[in-house]
């Protein structure tokens, strides 16, 4: 877009440090909830879900079925990322992030209220699949959307380092989920855990969801998105003879090779980690007969190590041309 006569207002959509702090807190909570949701399920799938949601006639098949439903969430994630990414460009980052965190939080909470296989038969795993699809669909746009929001809030020479703050939420979420399961398996008998104890972490996740939603309700839209809307209004609020000359941007082509490389790099980082964590816990508890508390404690320790290690992968100076 080239402009000839309209003078820009430099303070349009200007944001304060407090606004940036709110956005950072929102991104951290949302990412933490995303990874906590998935970790809660992964540990439950490895520790108790094979007994709760599948027939006990074939324990091996039950374990594999629980793992398969865990994978359903990862199938829905890229679809959700594509859908909500497009929506975010149309309606704004704030609205999309409000939708995604609500979808994640509600579906995770409802998992804790599901009937078991012994109560309703195959309806139980069917409902679990539906909730995992919703959970994954919302989670697909959470960490990327939060990173984009922070990048659009940040000064142009600090976008990389500030948007990387969402990475703190990844290990925070897995650490909290692992800690909850470690406590439950340590203080409860297997019978109590299978009876009602397993519901506690899922139902309790509504607290984090409510806090995150509260913060996002009080967020301002990103300066980049809002300024664009105001500039359009401003351009049409002057006589035709003085309006800016708007030129249609050239259509950008998506490189299939670059897209595939980015997709599989992300899969190698996140997907591989999720599979290893889930399978490892299941293998320890089912095949090697480790106690459930030992298996879940391993997740706590590994997440703690991941949290305290240097985790900022974004560059500290990322400008418009970089």
What is the domain count for the chain?
1
Q: The domain containing residue 116 runs over which residues?
A: 17-230+270-308
- Is position 321 within any domain? no
- Is position 263 within any domain? no
CB-based contact 100:142 (threshold 8 Å): yes
CB-based contact 79:67 (threshold 8 Å): no
How are the residues of the chain apportioned to helix, strand and coil, as percentages rounded to the nearest 5? Answer: 75, 0, 25
Q: What was the pLDDT predicted at 197? A: 92
In degrees, rounded to 5, the angle at the alpha carbon of residue 299 between the alpha carbons of residues 66 and 196 is 50
Q: Which of helix, strand or coil describes residue 2?
A: strand
CA Rg, the chain, in Å? 23
Q: What was the pLDDT predicted at 320? A: 39
In tens digits, the chain (322 residues) has pLDDT values of 444 444 444 444 566 777 777 777 877 777 888 778 877 887 888 778 888 888 766 767 777 888 788 888 888 888 888 898 888 888 888 888 888 888 988 999 999 999 999 999 999 999 999 999 998 898 888 877 877 877 777 776 777 777 777 777 777 788 888 888 888 888 888 889 889 999 999 998 898 888 888 888 877 777 767 665 555 555 545 555 554 544 444 555 667 888 788 777 776 666 666 666 667 777 777 677 777 777 777 777 777 776 676 444 444 333 333 3
Find residue 118's DSSP bridge partners.
none
State the Cα–Cα distance between residues 42 and 225, nearest whole angstrom.
Answer: 36
- Is position 238 within any domain? no
Q: What was the pLDDT predicted at 242? A: 53
Q: What was the pLDDT predicted at 38? A: 77
Q: What was the pLDDT predicted at 127? A: 94
- Is position 8 within any domain? no
- Is position 291 within any domain? yes
Our measurement of the distance from residue 132's CA atom to the centroid of its chain's CA atoms, rounded to an integer in Å, reads: 13
Residue 196, domain CATH:
1.20.1250.20
Q: What was the pLDDT predicted at 110? A: 94
Q: What was the pLDDT predicted at 129? A: 93
- Is position 11 within any domain? no
Q: What was the pLDDT predicted at 82? A: 87
- Is position 322 within any domain? no
DSSP 164: G
- Is position 244 within any domain? no
């Amino acid at each position: 877009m080239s402009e000839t006569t309209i003078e820009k207002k430099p303070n349009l959509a200007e944001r304060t440090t407090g606004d940036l702090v709110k956005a950072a807190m929102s991104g951290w909570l949302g990412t933490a909830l995303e990874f906590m949701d998935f970790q809660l399920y992964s540990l439950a799938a490895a520790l108790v879900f094979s007994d709760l949601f599948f027939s006990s006639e074939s324990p091996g098949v039950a374990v594999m079925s629980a793992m398969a439903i865990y994978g359903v969430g990862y199938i829905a994630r890229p679809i959700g990322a594509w859908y909500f990414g497009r929506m975010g460009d149309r309606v704004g980052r704030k609205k999309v992030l409000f939708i995604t965190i609500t979808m994640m939080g509600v579906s995770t909470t409802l998992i804790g209220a599901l009937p078991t296989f012994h109560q309703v038969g195959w309806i139980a795993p069917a409902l679990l699949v539906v909730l995992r699809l919703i959970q994954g669909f919302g989670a697909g746009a959470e960490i990327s959307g939060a990173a984009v929001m922070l990048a659009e809030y940040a000064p142009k020479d600090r976008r990389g380092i500030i948007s990387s703050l969402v990475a703190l939420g990844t290990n925070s979420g897995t650490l909290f989920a692992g800690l909850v399961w470690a406590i439950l398996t340590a203080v409860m008998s297997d019978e109590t855990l299978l009876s009602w104890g397993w519901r506690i972490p899922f139902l309790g996740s509504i607290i984090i969801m409510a806090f995150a939603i509260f913060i996002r309700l009080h967020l301002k839209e990103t300066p980049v998105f809002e300024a664009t809307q105001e500039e359009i209004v401003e351009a049409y609020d002057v006589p035709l003879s003085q309006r800016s000359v708007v030129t249609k941007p050239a259509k950008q082509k998506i490189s299939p090779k670059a897209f595939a490389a980015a997709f599989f790099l992300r899969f190698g980082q996140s997907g591989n980690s999720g599979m290893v964590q889930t399978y490892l816990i299941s293998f320890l508890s089912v095949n090697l007969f480790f106690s459930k508390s030992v298996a879940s404690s391993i997740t706590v320790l590994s997440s703690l190590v991941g949290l305290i290690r240097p985790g900022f992968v974004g560059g500290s100076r990322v400008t418009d041309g970089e």
